[in-house]
Amino acid sequence: MRLPHTPERKPFAGSLRLRLFVLIILPLVAVAVMAGAVRYWQAQSMSQALYDDALKVVAHVVAREVILTQGDVVSDALLDSLVGVLGDPIFYNVSAADGRILAGYTDMPDKVVPTDLRGGEPQFFDFIYNDKPVRAVALREFIADPFFDGWTTVLVWQTTTQRRALSLIILQQALTLLALVLITAAAAVWVGIAQGLRPLIDLREAVALRSPTELKPIQRVVPSEVRPLVGTMNSLFARLQAELQHRNAFIANAAHQIRNPVAAIRAQAEAALSTDDAPTRDARMRDLHEAANDLSRLSQQLLSLETADHSGRVDGELIDFTGLVADMARKYAPAAVEKGVDIHLDAPEGAVMVRGNAVLLREAIENLLDNALRYGAANGGALTLALTRRDRQVTLAVQDEGPGIPDAASEQVFERFLRLPQPNGTVVPGSGCGLGLAIVRSIATAHGGSAHVGKQDKGCCILLSLPSAD
């Protein structure tokens, strides 16, 4: 069971302008997002560095204040001024070398101060104070004073609310700038794409204004990227124009060829109706029957030629070509006997297989036999069908003992509606309309083969070659 055909879904099958816009803007948005992330990290680092430097200064101020006051607490005025500068509450603790708390807050968590402090080097760290994250700096200094007893540790910490606020402000400013840049870039890109696609729009309008019969090449100046497309369109127009000319010529020739048999049928029918003599009327009826057969044969050949011309490359079923040739020889045996012609079939043993359309191949063989009986074996003699297989090619040679075909006309005989005169200048009666060999070549070409006139000393030889399927 054949499944229903599902058309392939293709991405960006809509507007080319929108596709270009998306393909350009998306990378810009990605770059803006990455730039925003980098800017946020830079803002955090910047605010961290700024507030850490301020916190280190506060630690030194607290240390000097405690030294000057011999362990008294830092004045509220000084703390208020420091908080006013930094924005967040400030806490401090000053301890002696033996662990005694000399000044400051005593509710700080245990074991917060790093144990690897070095003298004169501030060390920053984070911890939780009263369920809030804080940033702290520890500073160890040697104070030569009996009250401080040598190495003194100053610890100052502060909540991080203002740090985060500063980072967010910097990020907001950066994002606002990036958004403005993106909006400006998007507008510029959209306008630029519209202007860049203007030649395509002009080309579309020019093609749309053409009439159905106007197939001249496009001469409009277009960008280099569109030139291959225009070249392909011009090639298509040329093929369409050639096909239309071919079709018009075929229709004209077919109408001309059909007109004569129809006129003959009409004249003979009128003659048969106008006579009262029975023998004369019978003769007219026989002529009428022959004219009707000629018209039927002409119609069949026209349909066969049209089918062969538009069938493309035929890749059909496997066919026993030997059996096909033998069947057609048996079909034409009575007509050959009536003309005193002996048909001989020379074929290799076993089946010779080809791949193609059996109906078209039967039509090609029938036209070869009909052509040979009409022209080559009209006065008796022998008609030989030689079937050979060599180099992956199957060749059918139809040989007769007639007048033959001049070398100068070996290609002309495959043209449509061409009938060669006899050596005496006359045309064979009932010689058809000159489509037989044209049909043979069209069918051979559709099957990947060829048809041509073979050389021989006497008579005519038409060769039909097809690819072998063995």
Higher-confidence position of 144 and 163: 163
CB atoms within 10 A of CB 435: 26
Higher-confidence position of 15 and 127: 127
Higher-confidence position of 271 and 68: 271
Q: Which of 246, 297, 288, 240 is nearest to 265 (CA)?
A: 288
**Where residue 12 falls among pLDDT bands split at 50, 70, 90?**
very low
Q: Strand, helix or coil at 420?
A: coil
**Measured distance CA(188)–CA(264) in Å, rounded:** 76
**Where residue 309 falls among pLDDT bands split at 50, 70, 90?**
low
CB of 125 closer than 8 Å to CB of 114: yes
Residue-level pLDDT at 9: 47
Residue-level pLDDT at 1: 38
CB of 113 closer than 8 Å to CB of 138: yes
**Where residue 3 falls among pLDDT bands split at 50, 70, 90?**
very low
Residue-level pLDDT at 147: 61
Residue-level pLDDT at 326: 92
CB of 341 closer than 8 Å to CB of 299: no
Per residue in 385-414, pLDDT (tens digit) is 999 998 889 999 999 888 888 888 888 888
**Where residue 312 falls among pLDDT bands split at 50, 70, 90?**
low
Residue-level pLDDT at 424: 53
Percent share of the chain, pLDDT over 90? 9
Higher-confidence position of 15 and 411: 411
| Residue ranges of domains in the chain, CATH in brackets | 19-168 (3.30.450), 215-310 (1.10.287.130), 314-467 (3.30.565.10)
Structural element, H or E, at residue 299: helix 278-309
The first and second tokens of residue 55, run together, are: 């916190």
**Measured distance CA(380)–CA(156) in Å, rounded:** 128
**Where residue 226 falls among pLDDT bands split at 50, 70, 90?**
confident
Residue-level pLDDT at 397: 93
- Sheet (strand 123-129) strand order: 101-104, 90-95, 150-159, 132-143, 123-129
- Greatest mean pLDDT range, 145-149, 179-183, 279-283, 374-378: 179-183
Residue-level pLDDT at 432: 59
Q: Strand, helix or coil at 408?
A: helix
**Mean pLDDT (whole number) for 309-324:** 76
CB atoms within 10 A of CB 158: 25
Residue-level pLDDT at 7: 46
**Measured distance CA(15)–CA(24) in Å, rounded:** 14
Per residue in 162-200, pLDDT (tens digit) is 878 888 888 888 888 888 988 998 899 888 888 888 888
Residue-level pLDDT at 410: 84
**Measured distance CA(312)–CA(360) in Å, rounded:** 12
**Mean pLDDT (whole number) for 64-82:** 63
Q: Which of 328, 339, 330 is nearest to 430 (CA)?
A: 339
**Where residue 462 falls among pLDDT bands split at 50, 70, 90?**
very high
Residue-level pLDDT at 451: 92
**Measured distance CA(270)–CA(268) in Å, rounded:** 5
Q: How far apart are the first and last CA of the chain?
A: 29
Percent share of the chain, pLDDT over 70? 83
CB of 281 closer than 8 Å to CB of 275: yes
pLDDT greater than 70 at residue 146: no
pLDDT greater than 80 at residue 431: no
Per residue in 74-133, pLDDT (tens digit) is 656 666 666 666 677 878 888 777 667 777 777 777 777 777 777 778 888 888 888 888
On average, the pLDDT of the chain sits at: 79
- Ranges 75-79, 135-139, 278-282: which has the least confidence: 75-79
**Measured distance CA(43)–CA(175) in Å, rounded:** 12
Whether the model pTM is above 0.75: no
In the block, tokens 């007769």 appear at 400
**Measured distance CA(454)–CA(174) in Å, rounded:** 86
Q: Strand, helix or coil at 448?
A: coil
Residue-level pLDDT at 469: 84
Q: Strand, helix or coil at 188?
A: helix
* Strand ranges for 324-467 from DSSP E: 341-346, 353-356, 381-390, 393-399, 450-454, 461-467
